[in-house]
Homo-oligomer: A and B are copies of this chain.
């Protein structure tokens, strides 16, 4: 089985981190295909960054599916372009935010999320509501870190994230914490050990759910709103193919 992990931003180091997390958790027969578009933002911090990154990310998904990918993971916690990707692909498309929450709702009655920048809090709260987790999610917390600081100053980043997890546990009554950024994959185990509560690493969650769905032949419904884009001048169907042709 081939699982395609796509990082919508253009920072190769983050793609590599996501790839390693995926490889580490993948089942024996699974091959991880990981990549990122070129020219998209170095990190996704807000709706506009998402918007400019999505078309190239969709092209990679179309390309990966043509090359045999059985399922796709969007490795950015805002789940940018998730619904559009489901129109493009037949294999299941898993967003790490939705996956992290589904796991959290299966192992804990209440959870909190810890992300990077405060400006992402309303974006993630909107996803919490859209995915039906509003009752179970205590709070979306920001460690007040820019995304790239996870690479450039990992010691400070760890400290700030751990502090938020402890507050989630003690003030929110969270029974588990979901890590709200694809760049935090390498911190999860230590955070869980040192804070004493389950810490859900979202890339891992998504890769395992993608494998599960693909293995069971649960594929994206093409009846209704996730049907392939309609053919027309400039439409997504052609646009993405044209994009690939470059």
**Complex: A121 Cα to B83 Cα, angstroms:** 14
Contact A40 to B234, CB < 8 A, known contacts A175-B226, A227-B119? yes
A interface residue count range (under 10 / 10 to 19 / 20 to 34 / 35 or more) = 35 or more
- Contact call A48/B236, Cβ cutoff below 8 A: yes
Counting chain B CB atoms within 10 Å of each CB, the highest count among A10, A81, A136, A229 belongs to A229
**Binary flags per residue of A103-141, CB closer than 8 Å to B gives 1, else 0:** 101111110000000111111011001111111100000
- Contact call B51/A55, Cβ cutoff below 8 A: yes
- Contact call B49/A10, Cβ cutoff below 8 A: no
Of the 9-residue stretches A154-162, A179-187, A202-210, which lies at the interface with chain B? Answer: A202-210
- Contact call B211/A25, Cβ cutoff below 8 A: no
Contact A106 to B92, CB < 8 A, known contacts A41-B235, A48-B236? yes
**A190 in contact (CB, < 8 A):** no
CB-CB under 8 A from A54, the residues of chain B are 51, 54
